[in-house]
């Protein structure tokens, strides 16, 4: 399940809990990202993982990949908040593969991650 987090108008933010499905992406994430692109012409994205990565279904991963590819040139900043060192390292390396800046943050640094995605800090 994914819940949208209320934030400023220049970003979209989500919290993943328990099992995350294809339907979660289609009904919550995709419409919010599309609206953000229409309003700002870029993607500033934050995802807090309060579930194990294994709880993302194959359909959820496919929807996530399709969203990323569809809007490849629109990514500006994306942060993944997790206490998993592997996820943080993977996220930090993503900037070398696709346009935009990607950073991983520990859960204790949630406010720093939010401020970074909003563009308030470098």
pLDDT at residue 5, as a whole number = 96
Q: pLDDT, tens digit, for every residue of 98-120?
A: 889 999 999 999 999 999 999 98
CATH number among 2.20.130, 3.90.350, 3.40.50, 1.10.287, domain 2-118: 3.40.50
pTM of the model: 0.89
**49-58, 67-76, 85-94, 103-112, range with the lowest pLDDT:** 67-76
> Quick one: average pLDDT of 38-59?
88
pLDDT at residue 61, as a whole number = 62
DSSP 49-97: EES-GGGB-HHHHHHHHHHHHHTGGGEEEEEEE-S-HHHHHHHHHGGGT
Which residue(s) pair with 48 in the sheet?
Answer: 15, 81
Can you state the percent helix, strand and coil of the chain, rounding each to 5? 50, 25, 25
Q: pLDDT, tens digit, for every residue of 6-39?
A: 999 999 999 999 988 888 888 999 899 999 999 9
Query: Structural domain boundaries of the chain?
Result: 2-118
Q: How far apart are CA 70 and CA 107, in angstroms?
A: 29
Q: Which residue has the tokens 């346009």?
A: 99
Q: How far apart are CA 62 and CA 102, in angstroms?
A: 19
Q: How far apart are CA 109 and CA 102, in angstroms?
A: 15
């Amino acid at each position: 399940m994914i819940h949208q987090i209320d934030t400023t108008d220049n970003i979209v933010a989500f919290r993943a809990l328990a099992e995350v499905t294809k339907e979660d992406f289609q009904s919550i994430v995709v419409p919010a990202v599309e609206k953000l692109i229409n309003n700002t012409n870029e993607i500033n994205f934050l995802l807090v993982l309060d579930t194990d990565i294994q709880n993302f279904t194959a359909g959820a991963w496919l929807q996530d990949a399709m969203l990323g590819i569809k809007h490849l040139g629109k990514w500006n900043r994306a942060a993944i908040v997790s206490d998993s060192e592997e996820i943080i390292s993977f996220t930090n390396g993503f900037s070398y593969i696709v346009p935009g800046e990607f950073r991983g943050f520990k859960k204790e640094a949630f406010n720093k991650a939010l401020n970074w995605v909003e563009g308030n800090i470098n």
